[in-house]
Amino acid sequence: MKQEKEEWQNPIDKDKITENPHNLPYAHNVGSAIIFPEDKDRIKSNAMSAMVEQTNVQMKQIYEQMELLVQQANQLKARVEISEEIYASEMAFKPITGHTYHLYEDDKGKKILSMIGPGEWARGMKYKKFIATAKLSGDHTWDIIKKADS
């Protein structure tokens, strides 16, 4: 009778079994599907690479937009400078909007606005230096068509 009263002991450790085997992070049966643990460092590395690539593309777009704005600002600045030079020059006529005129400098350094272009003089250019060809816009600024150095 003594043997009958002895408690039966399960040979499997309680820490190694579960009531919900489907929640285990590994295969719990010989016929179970293989479960590979995720390589979290690799996932993070791939995500970081994609993020860096995308932000670099966006930064390049912003940089190109900035370059365009700088170029436009420089063109506007040059346009203002030529407009100021033309309005400070000697004019023997009233410029008409939409027409093209030519800015020259004479031997004394005085600027002169002319209707005659650098290649249109019959006996050679009358002035010392050609500065620019510009067209008068509706807002009374001058669009540079050609500069002496270009």
| Number of residues assigned to the chain | 150
**For residue 77, what pLDDT is reported?**
92
Share the mean pLDDT of the chain.
85
Q: What is the pTM of this model?
A: 0.57
> Residue 21 has which token pair?
């085997």
Domain ranges of the chain: 40-147
d(CA 145, CA 132): 8
Average pLDDT over residues 38-43: 84
- Best CA proximity match to 103, nearest among 70, 128, 138: 128
**For residue 61, what pLDDT is reported?**
98
d(CA 35, CA 23): 12
